[in-house]
Amino acid sequence: MVMQDKICLVTGASDGIGLITARELVRQGAEVVIHGRSADKGRHAVAEIERQTGKTVRFIQGDFASLGAVRDLARQVGDSVPRLDVLVNNAGRAASTVREVSQDGYEMIFAVNHLAPFLLTHLLLDKLKAAPTARVVNVASVAHKFKPLFDIDDLMSEKIKPINTYSRSKFANILFSDELARRLAGTAITSNALHPGTIRSNFGNEATVTRIFYKFAAPLLKTPEQGALTNIYLAASPEVEGRTGGYYADCKPAEPHPATRDVEIARRLWEKSERLVGI
């Protein structure tokens, strides 16, 4: 099996494409740790994966709205595995019409979708470096192309409507993924971002506007199984072994917005993010 003896962490894996990603990596032979915000959903996900695969998986609970919880997640993962072959940064929060702040006082969607995986990846770098080869898979979205585009001087999105903060966070995901690839050049760790497609799942249920959209558009949307395919491809396929700094959709290279390739903006986001998370 392709993933035999590989150790993987999939965040946001208690349902949706994260759950499918984790299940399929287990089926391919990997030892998988899954993360989610809800302990109850996590237990259900573990039971489902174990029932369908006959293999054991471990769940670690953590709310990405808290950087302290992210640090605790990293500690628990670090204490339980000798290395990490794959990190799938899948957890995220959908668009909202209401501006909220995280437990650390940051705009909620930016905090959950960018700062949390940024910090988690940093904290797990030693475990990734301990693997013969390792992959970081960052789940972004085509929504990064929606206006208004990313503003490095307004990371908390105080100048735009709350509904647009999701697009900003997904833009940040690609900037981070590319900058991580550059900073890890010469190592055995790759970093790639992806657009999974618009998925028929529970994602977006927190906000009325997105809940209504997902309800009525459901017949036109991808199933979680279809949406997870690019996650799984970047995590496991031999075709992308050693490839880094890419953006993918439907299991093939795609073109992100040209502004995501701005090296200076990516560097500034990295440095500002370090200060925000206390690295």
Q: Which residue has the higher pLDDT, 122 or 217?
A: 122
* Three-class DSSP category at 94: coil
DSSP secondary-structure letter at 37?
Answer: S
**Residues forming the active site:** 166
Residue 44: DSSP 8-state: H
Q: What is the pLDDT of residues 199-210, one digit of tens each?
A: 645 544 454 544
Q: Answer whether residue 148 shows pLDDT above 80.
A: no
Angle at alpha carbon of residue 109, lines to 46 and 251, rounded to 5°: 60
> How far is residue 268's CA from residue 47's CA, in Å, rounded to a whole number?
42
Q: Count the residues in the chain.
A: 279
Q: Is the pLDDT of residue 72 over 90?
A: yes
Segment (H or E) for 248: strand 247-249
- d(Cα 200, Cα 237) in Å, to the nearest integer? 24
Contact 193, 178 (CB under 8 A): yes
Q: Which residue has the higher pLDDT, 216 or 277?
A: 277
pLDDT of 212 above 70: no
The whole-number average pLDDT for the span 146-152 is 87
pLDDT, position 213: 41
Of 10-14, 131-135, 159-163, the poorest mean pLDDT is in 159-163
CATH of 7-277, one of 3.30.460.10, 3.40.50.720, 3.30.565.10, 3.90.1150.10: 3.40.50.720
Cα angle 135-136-142, degrees, rounded to a multiple of 5: 130
Check residue 202 and give its pLDDT. Answer: 55
Q: How far apart, in whole angstroms, are the C-alpha atoms of residue 111 and residue 50?
A: 32
| 35-54 pLDDT tens trace | 999 999 999 999 999 999 99
Residues 6+ apart with CB under 8 A from 253: 246, 247
| Tens-digit pLDDT profile for residues 152-193 | 999 999 999 999 999 999 999 999 999 999 999 999 999 999
Give the distance between the most distant pair of CA atoms in the chain. Answer: 50
